[in-house]
Structure 1
């Protein structure tokens, strides 16, 4: 007799595989190009949306979240009898001020009048230090940036940091690569864009000013550190007493700079990230005329606020930064830019609403199980590493035991009570928002570290590791398919979100994160022999990725992307071990003809489904520590022994690396 389920024993639906088999391209062998095999049909059928520089799983999830956020924001906008000063009032009125195009057009550049006059009124360069600090408060880039963060060697206290800044193009290479036709084209378009923007703002000699600005920024670029140099946390940590800053920048008025920055009397030292740059900047300051500096500050003010001015400024800004730099042909709809503006200003206030409607509690509970297995896999792996000795292993286990975990959303929401938002005052709202964020940082000086604070909003499709907090953070919005599917069997989830978790944990042990201990302090806790063995593996990975080329003439920078490549390599290896632990010794089910191991690796492969415009690909190669998606998929798989077994990869296959050439870290 057939068995029938009773009300007390509901039939559980069979778990899904979690794999988008509709996109699998069977004309490509998994053993030759795993990325194309997993995503080939999607790659052939998908066009990058006109308002995007790239498209893929991350971008789609972010885009899918936008209507959800819009509904929450519009509800606040339309709510009647809003209490003045409430988060609802601030969300609604900020969005309303962004969408009030008629008023924005009427105002033109007028909302920047006070700041433009402040810059144009400069009579000598002695006033520049105070001006740089003032502009920094309202989010305008200057030759250097000052901000507050945890002291990387004393993680129980906050410190002021000074770092290089002030370029209007994505990277120093855009200024300095004279033999690259694309860089030369970008420089020419940049100069024309500056000229056009300054002319719209009523500058006296926009063409001459544009030339002087490009020359000034080129001089700054020449003394800036490269992206690779900036990856070294020890070299970037340079504690300098305020009384000694003059030795780096003779004659520079740090007293007025600190007073204008609001930190005078609150600090007795700063951490200078690039000392040689600061000396170089001071020399550029001395050798460049006042009028050029005034034009430079005016340009960066306009550049920073163009999105909030009249349509002529918005269109000019998009024509350069959207089309010329990233290849995007159509600006985002105004409502999406409005949502982004509200998120930038009131991210956690919006996040609170988002979580209440779109983040079921059971997701967090299942994630905690995943993380527990990942931790155990790391713990076991440390004990069995053949390249790490007992002394270093002890420290590694201690650091792992101190890892913090944040999932979904903060336990304590950010307080926006001191932020004033006024309907009909878009530029003023943005200025006050930026100043609020800056002053919030300065207010931390002298106070205990806030360990409940988040560096991302719940609606952010991303995750991160903080070396000073020694914690991993997973916002609610990334905990969706294809990263995490509550309906799917564990295999795909471990291959996707499990690998992301493993990736973030591994940042605590990569070439950068491994230089901080379990308390978040920069400290060398490795033996020299273990560090040397680790470096051999890191160098092998660097060389592998140096060989990948997404565009003719442009190769992945293996040194720049090393930390993220280690993260992918280690994340998949540990997630695979954690998946095996989750099975509890039982065989994995076969679903849709796919074994558990196959679904695990396919879960990872489909996460990196993506396409990118050529111009944006160049920006990524020059500036992004992450490798392009196809190499995150293929490069990672080629180093995983389990992948070879799951898909029968053999010598002669294009995905094959000899065992001696595979990089196995964890």
Structure 2
């Protein structure tokens, strides 16, 4: 995570007889001057990138990202239709999504209001007179989804995922992650300097005099720096064992005795039960801040976090200043997205299942689900075959791996049961008030699950989302309708293309169940070792091969990938490509091979489809941010990295030993 639109018409199973009418890869996207065995990323999609520069408002671009932006046009069309009516029943999906979008689009009203929608909040923070008032204010901000500086979120119990408990997470930082507060390389020093200016400017826009704004910005930075010092880094955050710290409710007082946990949980309407404290050291630092930090410093920090959360729902000066730091500086984008796109994204984020119900009705027919189910079935079977044939795993561990694979659940398109958002009050009067109303509902909805059996019907993404995920605690792979469209999934494409694009994504998500994180969870989703000691050591050694490979991938002199950070995603890409290719070949048994199209064999089409799907052009500023904190490698190495390990790729393009896309046998990585 991480991280896409032509309507999906009826998708029918492709017969051998009709295969000749289907299209293959996009031949015009190929860089004919490049060499597949030299740099496949450049070869597969280089011409498209050359002809399609990144739009000013985007930080990366490819047919996949282009498709995601077109998808937002579909969402906009739905929202425009909904917002054109004023007679929707109050509280209905149409009224909620339509009025939310309409208020967001009313830029003149938002600009006229300026910072006034926040005035009651800012006044309340300014009126805090003692530690009890500070704690109540923290609780109120949490209820609106603002993590200051921690957040309590309901989720599966890592040891017994059939139950839902409260998890306490670290939060409250304004820079991308903890290392931005400490690293000494010039880009981090520059980020800290620009961040101080950004925070001060936001305070000024909210009405603070210049000198006071600068002092408050320094206070905020020092406060966040102390929190960051007590936080896990990005690699540590990938280790579920480090974040498995079940704590009895009464024991919370031992970690943070200065906080009124009973009052907090009662106000949040959560049972006083055991909590998983994901970062005990952070919570202890929070307690020290609670006891020792003067109230005016806390007030400056709370004001900043409120402004940070609300900026994009306020008037144009706030939006532009927020973009100047988080957009221009951190990602390299030079132009803010059009308001309609931002409003479509915000509506999806806050009321995604009200909007998603309309989206699914229009763009994801039952036939699409059936075709995806067939592909998922084939790729799961290919994973079974791969596990059975492993020569480095003993029978006892294989049996456990196969047992885990057998319990996989695939969710496709949209939930069977949509959220109703009962009680959310949305109007056309205030965009910020609508955000607060929806956020409060979403927080309360999440909190309502604490102490209950886990509801496996819930989704972690909305139907229009162009992404996919694996949840190890429920052992489920999830593909929203938004990703099930060209170039990922196309009814008019050959099987080779579909297996090479969405098929590798399916394989990738399946493989997450067996990457360095997922492999720590058993068939029931419990954080529990199921490996023999010898097989565990073999698995770690195979993972280390991937770590070493990606440590050698540089985006610019002196800046390379962190192999441990990208290990899980890179295992997913490597295994995903392997098992999707295997599933593709198996799917053709009894049907005969697909035809050569545009001079490319079916095997070549499979791999080119992956290169074209994943072939993003990415701004250097975004690459630097990704290298620091994103568990996904940059696009070039998501293409070249896994394929350079695969004999099937080398055979398809007749690559030879010594070619850049052929890793030496001694360095070749294979995990699954």
Is 1:152–1:237's contact at 8 Å kept on the other side of the alignment?
yes
Partner of 1:604: 610
Deviation at 1:317, TM superposition (A): 1.1
Deviation at 1:60, TM superposition (A): 1.1
Partner of 1:564: 569
Partner of 1:38: 44
Partner of 1:208: 215
Deviation at 1:106, TM superposition (A): 2.1
* Counterparts of 2:529 and 2:285, CA distance in 1: 30
Query: What are the equivalent positions in structure 2 for 1:211-360 lying under 5 Å apart?
Result: 211-263=218-270, 266-360=271-365
* Counterparts of 1:532 and 1:255, CA distance in 2: 44
Deviation at 1:73, TM superposition (A): 0.5
Deviation at 1:626, TM superposition (A): 0.4
Query: What are the equivalent positions in structure 2 for 1:346-425 lying under 5 Å apart?
Result: 346-425=351-430
Partner of 1:5: none
Partner of 2:632: 626
* Counterparts of 1:130 and 1:540, CA distance in 2: 50
Partner of 1:578: 583
Is 1:133–1:258's contact at 8 Å kept on the other side of the alignment?
no
* Counterparts of 1:506 and 1:71, CA distance in 2: 36
Partner of 2:549: 544
Is 2:56–2:335's contact at 8 Å kept on the other side of the alignment?
yes
* Counterparts of 1:605 and 1:404, CA distance in 2: 28
* Counterparts of 1:106 and 1:146, CA distance in 2: 35
Matched, 1:502 2:507: yes
Alpha carbons of structure 1 residues 366 and 10: separation in structure 2 relative to 1, 3 Å: closer
* Counterparts of 2:187 and 2:325, CA distance in 1: 14
Is 1:53–1:326's contact at 8 Å kept on the other side of the alignment?
yes
Alpha carbons of structure 1 residues 567 and 645: separation in structure 2 relative to 1, 3 Å: same
Structure 2 unpaired stretches of 5+: 1-14
Alpha carbons of structure 1 residues 140 and 80: separation in structure 2 relative to 1, 3 Å: closer
Is 2:49–2:62's contact at 8 Å kept on the other side of the alignment?
no
Partner of 2:204: 199
Partner of 2:8: none
Is 1:144–1:166's contact at 8 Å kept on the other side of the alignment?
yes
- TM (norm. structure 2) is 0.95
* Counterparts of 2:517 and 2:539, CA distance in 1: 12
Partner of 1:643: 649
Partner of 1:103: 109
* Counterparts of 1:127 and 1:172, CA distance in 2: 28
Give CA-to-partner distance per residue, 1:141-160, whole Å, 9 cap, x none.
31211111111111111100
Deviation at 1:337, TM superposition (A): 1.1
* Counterparts of 1:398 and 1:166, CA distance in 2: 40
Is 2:93–2:420's contact at 8 Å kept on the other side of the alignment?
no
Give CA-to-partner distance per residue, 1:112-133, whole Å, 9 cap, x none.
1221122111123343333222
* Counterparts of 1:222 and 1:10, CA distance in 2: 60
Alpha carbons of structure 1 residues 151 and 57: separation in structure 2 relative to 1, 3 Å: farther
* Counterparts of 1:251 and 1:176, CA distance in 2: 28
SS at match of 1:509: coil
* Counterparts of 2:255 and 2:584, CA distance in 1: 52
Is 1:38–1:605's contact at 8 Å kept on the other side of the alignment?
yes
Partner of 1:3: none
Deviation at 1:10, TM superposition (A): 14
Is 1:56–1:610's contact at 8 Å kept on the other side of the alignment?
yes
* Counterparts of 2:601 and 2:87, CA distance in 1: 58
* Counterparts of 2:626 and 2:602, CA distance in 1: 34
Is 1:66–1:336's contact at 8 Å kept on the other side of the alignment?
yes
Residue number among 73, 90, 93 corresponding to 1:87 in the alignment? 93
SS at match of 1:550: strand
Deviation at 1:95, TM superposition (A): 1.2
Partner of 1:143: 149
* Counterparts of 2:129 and 2:357, CA distance in 1: 48
Give CA-to-partner distance per residue, 1:189-214, whole Å, 9 cap, x none.
11111111112212362111111111
Give CA-to-partner distance per residue, 1:596-654, whole Å, 9 cap, x none.
21111111111111111222111111111100010000001011110111111112211
* Counterparts of 1:191 and 1:268, CA distance in 2: 40
SS at match of 2:443: helix
Alpha carbons of structure 1 residues 10 and 530: separation in structure 2 relative to 1, 3 Å: closer
Alpha carbons of structure 1 residues 11 and 614: separation in structure 2 relative to 1, 3 Å: closer
* Counterparts of 1:221 and 1:446, CA distance in 2: 31
Is 1:100–1:424's contact at 8 Å kept on the other side of the alignment?
no
SS at match of 2:470: strand
Matched, 1:652 2:650: no
Partner of 1:117: 123
* Counterparts of 2:365 and 2:194, CA distance in 1: 48
SS at match of 1:169: coil
* Alignment RMSD (CA, Å): 1.7
Is 1:407–1:473's contact at 8 Å kept on the other side of the alignment?
yes
Alpha carbons of structure 1 residues 398 and 13: separation in structure 2 relative to 1, 3 Å: closer
SS at match of 2:147: coil
Partner of 1:4: none
* Counterparts of 1:380 and 1:130, CA distance in 2: 56
Structure 1 unpaired stretches of 5+: 1-8
SS at match of 2:337: coil
* Counterparts of 2:30 and 2:62, CA distance in 1: 15
- The number of aligned residues is 655
537-546 or 36-45, which deviates more: 36-45
Is 1:392–1:526's contact at 8 Å kept on the other side of the alignment?
yes
Give CA-to-partner distance per residue, 1:580-599, whole Å, 9 cap, x none.
11111533432222112111
* Counterparts of 2:451 and 2:169, CA distance in 1: 21
Deviation at 1:417, TM superposition (A): 2.1
* Counterparts of 1:321 and 1:132, CA distance in 2: 25
